[in-house]
Amino acid sequence: MIISLVGYMGSGKSHISKILSDKINFKLIDLDKEISRRNKLTIPEIFEKKGEIYFRKLERETLEEILATQENIVLSLGGGTPVYYNNMEIINNNSASVFLRASICTLAERISKQKEKRPLIAKIADEDLPEFIAKHLFERNVYYSKAQLSINTDQKNPEDIIQEIIEKLYL
């Protein structure tokens, strides 16, 4: 079984996937880290040197390879992964997809502390971040909402979120 966590940057995908994979004894794969490892470049370096289109192709290829395995995996996806090509359809057909939802305020608070690691927001002023997130989320929620399971993460601790995932996926 593969459990794919989708959601906007800062929704908790990386943090929740680590704890969840430990708890249910599944292998953890962070898609962005796997792409970086394979290409020996960070995600910002790939964006800078090769461009977003190149990155999205790598992302798609890596996603397909991981989803083709028969392993028990918790897969943490990049915020944009479900948006490109027919990735969300492939994710749903080959894994249990979980959308980690968070409010714009929560997301802005979390990602403002990590701007240098996030190419899409690196140059956006903190005061403009909520508006950027709102517009971006409006576009991306169409894809995120196709996930098989949706969990609101606002004001929940990681253990509660993980317990909700386990219960709803009957693990």
Which amino acids are annotated as binding site, given as ranges? 10-15, 32, 56, 79, 118, 140
73 touches 3 (CB < 8 A): yes
Sheet holding 73-76, edge to edge: 27-30, 73-76, 2-6, 96-101, 149-152
Rg (CA), the chain: 15
Known binding-site positions for ATP: 10-15, 118
Phi, psi of 5 (to 5 degrees): -100, 125
Known binding-site positions for Mg(2+): 14
Spatial CA neighbour of 79 closest among 31, 47, 112, 146: 31
Known binding-site positions for substrate: 32, 56, 79, 140
Structure tokens at 129: 């971040």
